[in-house]
Every structure is written in C-alpha cells, then in structure tokens.
Amino acid sequence: MKIKNTNHFLLFLFVSVVTLLLFAQSCKKSEDDLPTLSISQSVTTSEGNIGQSTVAVELTLSAAANNPVTAQLSTEAGTAKAGVDFVAFTNSEVVFNPGETSKSIAVNVIGNEEHEENKVFYVNITNLQQANMGNSKAEIIIENDDPFIPEVFFDSITRKNEGNSATQQAAINFRLTGIAQNPVKITYRTFTISATPGVDYTEVENETLTINAGDFEKKIYINILGDTNFELDDVIGIEFTSVEGAVMEHESAVIKIINDDTYTPQLLADGYITPMEYPDMQLIWSDEFDGSSVDANNWTHETGGGGWGNNELQIYTNSTQNSFVSDGKLNIVATSNYGNYSSARLISKDKQEFVYGRIDIRAKIPYGQGIWPALWMLGTNISSIGWPRCGEIDIMENVGYEPKQVHGTVHYNDGGHQYTGGSYQLPNNENFYEKFHVYSIVWQDDGIRWFVDYEPYYYISSTSIEYGAFQLPQFFIMNVAVGGNWPGNPDATTVFPQTMQVDYVRIFK
C-alpha cells in the first residue's frame, strides 16, 4: 500500500513538470511571434524662415500584427528648445491596425531668420503594447539655412594729431564678427561738429567702403589738414548712411583732431602774459580786474572758518585787508595777527558758470610753510548732490614749502572719492612766487589738459575716469588757505602777509 501511493505521487509530479514546460514554450513562441516597432534613428530637416514647417518621422513594424499595436510618442529637448525651435507634444498615441506595418508622424519645426548653429531634439516611444521595442528614440537635426549676417564694430572715437602743413590721415577700422560670406558695403559722409571742412579736414560725401567676401576688416581714411595755429581740439562727425550685408548698432563716429601746435607766450619783466585772442577761438568771458574793487557781478566772498574740511586755520573775510583790486590786479592776502589767520575766498557761483573751453589765469602766487594758494572750480550742482559728486577741477594748487612746483588735479565720485592729477616744475631752479605765470586748462567733453605758460604737463580722458561730472557747468574759486592737511601749519620760517595776485581770468571757445 505504501509503495503504491509513492508511484502515484511520482506520476503526478512528472505530468506537472511536462505541462509547465509545454506552457513556457507556448508563451515564448507567442512572444517571439510579436512584431518589433522601431522609429527612424535620425532625421534631418531645414529650419526655414518665419513660421512652421513639418518634418516626417517614420515608424515601422517588422511584420504585420494580428492585433492592434499601440504606443505613445513624446518630444524631448536637446540643443533645440521647445516653443522656440520645435512644437512639443507629450504622450501622443499612435495605433497600428492589423495588417499595417508603417506610419509617418508629422513634427513641426519653428523657423527664424537668425544665423545659428544646427540644433537637435528627440522623439521617444513609450508605453508600447502588442509589439517588441526596437529603436525607441529618433534624433531630429534642424539644419540652419540662414546666411551669416555679420555685425560691424568700430571705435566710436578716433584721435589724430593735427600736424603742421602736411595732410594727415585719420583711420577708422571696421571689424566684422566673422568672415563675410558676401560683400559688406558701408556708405558714409562727414559732417561738421566743430571742425571746418576745407580748413581742418577734407569733406567726404556718400563714399562707400566695401569689405569683400572672405575678409573681416577694412579701414576708411579722412584727410586732416594741418596748420600752425594754436587752437582748441576740433571734432569731425562721420555718419553711416547705409549698410548692406551686415548689421551695425551705431550710426556715427567722431574723429578728434588733437591740436599739437605750440605757442610762445610773451615774457614781460614781471612774467609771462598771453593774448586776448587766439586764431579760431573766441573770448566768451573775462575779468581783467581793471576796476577799483572786486566786481560783484562776477564774484562773491565766502566767509567763515571751521577748517573747510581740510583742518585749515584761516578765517575767510570780505575785508579789504584780505582782498582788493589795485593796479589792474586782484590781491588775495593771508595775514596773521598773533597766530589768528585771515584770508579771502572768492567764488563765481550763480554769477559766472561755464562748461568747456580754454581757461587762462595769469597769477603770481605766495610762498612759505603752511601757505596754500589755489585756482580751481566746482560743479554748480554741489548744493544738490554734494562733493565729490559735483566734480572738482584744480587748475592750479601749490603748497608753499614747494615753491618750484604746482599741481593740477580732478576730484570725482566713483564708488567714493577719487582723484588723479599731475605736477609741473619750473626749469632753471626758478620759483613760482618770483613772477607771474599763466595757468591754463583746455577742457572739452572728452578730456582736460593742464598747461603752465603753454607747456602741457597732464591730461585726463573721459575714458580714463568717471567723467560725467566734468560734462556739466562749473564755477571758479580763488583763495589762499593757511595750514591744513596737505601744506601743514605755518612755522617760524613763514612770513606774513602772503599775497596771491591775479591779473586776469579768461575763457575762450
């Protein structure tokens, strides 16, 4: 009985194993009978211009199916962006009915007229039913078909020394952002800003510069007519009236003609003196101090003490002991009364205010430890925006312990107080207090130059500092300070009184 039951169990086990093997083989055969679905591996299409175009992506079954085959398709961004370069879709269903083996789906590409690199995006198969998966991702390559349109760059300001009688050439170099595929043509003409055609330069009307295909830069040349006149710098405008085959952000440029002529001032017994007029310049204002008192139409006395921001010792007054006009000269006198110092400070604020020009001031300065004469300017907006935002131009400063040297400086705001300047020293061991000298600046919209007796010694340009404050009006200040952070205090060697004499202040344009 026991043996019989064992035989039955073994028979049952054998039948079960055979059945499972037959079922597994049947399932494998059924799976092997399913077709394979694949999508195009790579499709290339032209981008086109404005609007949308369609690219066809092919789906194929390896064999016709007995049952419907379904799948979902979705786009995937690559270097191409959805909504910019192609129209995106997600889980879009595609159905192969029995007997069908291929389908074409339309994918929309968005065109533009911008030259750019080729871009790529993808279409993926997901959620496949009743078929095996072959290649599941199609790469869509969008080929740029827009021509390369270069951008033109050039220097907005070109500077050229004027020279004497010979003709100079000022060059403006045009550079493309890449090699030109087609000729680039730029039509230009000159126009007057301050330079005079036929006198300062040769006029140009509707000339064309051509940058040939295969090139990426070329120059135009404007003739500058030299002379020997001591004058202000002049400016020529260049207008670009049309551009073909490229784009250009700016429509004009300027050429700055730098006056490089010298002028020899007349030397009198009491020092150098300059003329009332220059070729090609106009005197627009002056104070010759020919009256019997300080002209109230030009000057106001600033009075008081308190250090003036520099720990100065003097009190400024409007007393004739400290300032007066005599013999055609303004006298500013610093005095000491048992160590109590007084002086004068005259300003032209709200009376005489200027922007740009040539400024000549003939003056004879004092000397000595602790003496600080200055001829300078401040922005007229100082009351509203303060110092140093208003800007300060020091035409001449001297610290009395350096009688052979004067300084020219600008102060301005650029994230806080900044300053820059230069100095000039007299030759032959001379002292500034011995004679009159002419302290000048040539102040223009793109820079300032400093001179002593027509000798240039310092220059700043609008590109070297934060220059905005110096493109607005300023007023004059003339004073003699006593003591302070820079000159230090007077000592036993300092002689009082000390006088600064000003013969004239002149502005030319």
Q: Domain map of the chain by residue range?
A: 36-143, 151-258, 266-508
Per-residue pLDDT averaged across 363-371, rounded?
A: 98
Q: How many CB atoms lie within 10 A of CB 153?
A: 15
pLDDT value of residue 471: 98
Please give the residue that has the higher pLDDT: either 278 or 476.
476
Please give the residue that has the higher pLDDT: either 42 or 280.
42
CATH architecture of 36-143: Sandwich (2.60)
pLDDT of 72 higher than 60: yes
Question: For residues 477, 480, 482 and 483, what is the CA-based torsion angle, rounded to 10 degrees?
Answer: 60
Per-residue pLDDT averaged across 195-199, rounded?
A: 93
pLDDT value of residue 12: 64
Q: Assign 3 to helix, strand or coil.
A: helix
* Angular region, 384: left φ>0, alpha ψ -120 to 50, beta rest: alpha
CATH number of this structure's domain 151-258: 2.60.40.2030
**Percent of the residues in the chain that have a pLDDT greater than 70, as a whole number:** 94
Q: What are phi and psi of 97, to 5 degrees?
A: -75, 160
Please give the residue that has the higher pLDDT: either 465 or 262.
465
Report the C-alpha gap between 398 and 405 in whole angstroms. 7
Position 132 confidence tier, pLDDT thresholds 50, 70, 90: very high
pLDDT value of residue 190: 97
CATH architecture of 266-508: Sandwich (2.60)
Instruction: Please give the positions annotated as active site.
Output: 392, 397
**Burial, 340: exposed, middle or buried (Cβ in 10 Å; 0-12, 13-18, 19+)?**
exposed
Tokens found for residue 318 = 């409007």
pLDDT digits (tens, 9 = 90+) for 433-478: 999 999 999 999 989 999 999 999 999 999 999 999 999 999 999 9
Position 300 confidence tier, pLDDT thresholds 50, 70, 90: very high
Q: How many CB atoms lie within 10 A of CB 407?
A: 20
Question: Does a cis peptide bond (omega within 30 degrees of 0) precede residue 403?
Answer: no
pLDDT value of residue 233: 87
5-9, 282-286, 460-464, 490-494: lowest mean pLDDT where?
5-9
Give the list of residues 6+ apart from residue 404 with CB closer than 8 angstroms, or none: 425, 426, 429, 430, 431, 432
pLDDT digits (tens, 9 = 90+) for 380-404: 999 999 999 999 999 999 999 999 9
pLDDT value of residue 262: 79
Bridge partners (DSSP) listed for residue 488: none
pLDDT value of residue 2: 45
Position 1 confidence tier, pLDDT thresholds 50, 70, 90: very low
Tokens found for residue 495 = 């002689």
Count of residues making up the chain? 509
Report the C-alpha gap between 493 and 69 in whole angstroms. 110
* pTM, full prediction: 0.68
pLDDT value of residue 265: 86
Position 278 confidence tier, pLDDT thresholds 50, 70, 90: confident
Position 26 confidence tier, pLDDT thresholds 50, 70, 90: very low
Q: Assign 403 to helix, strand or coil.
A: coil
Report the C-alpha gap between 228 and 214 in whole angstroms. 43
pLDDT value of residue 263: 80
With tokens 């003056």, the residue in question is 363
pLDDT of 11 higher than 70: no
pLDDT of 29 higher than 70: no
Pick from 36, 233, 39: nearest CA to 124: 39
Per-residue pLDDT averaged across 62-83, rounded?
A: 96
The chain-wide mean pLDDT, for the chain, equals 93
Give the list of residues 6+ apart from residue 434 with CB closer than 8 angstroms, or none: none
Query: Hey, do 151-258 and 266-508 end up sharing a CATH topology, with the first three levels equal?
Result: no
**Percent of the residues in the chain that have a pLDDT greater than 90, as a whole number:** 85
pLDDT value of residue 297: 98
Question: For residues 14, 18, 24 and 30, what is the CA-based torsion angle, rounded to 10 degrees?
Answer: -160
pLDDT value of residue 20: 58
pLDDT value of residue 470: 98
Q: Assign 471 to helix, strand or coil.
A: helix
pLDDT of 416 higher than 50: yes
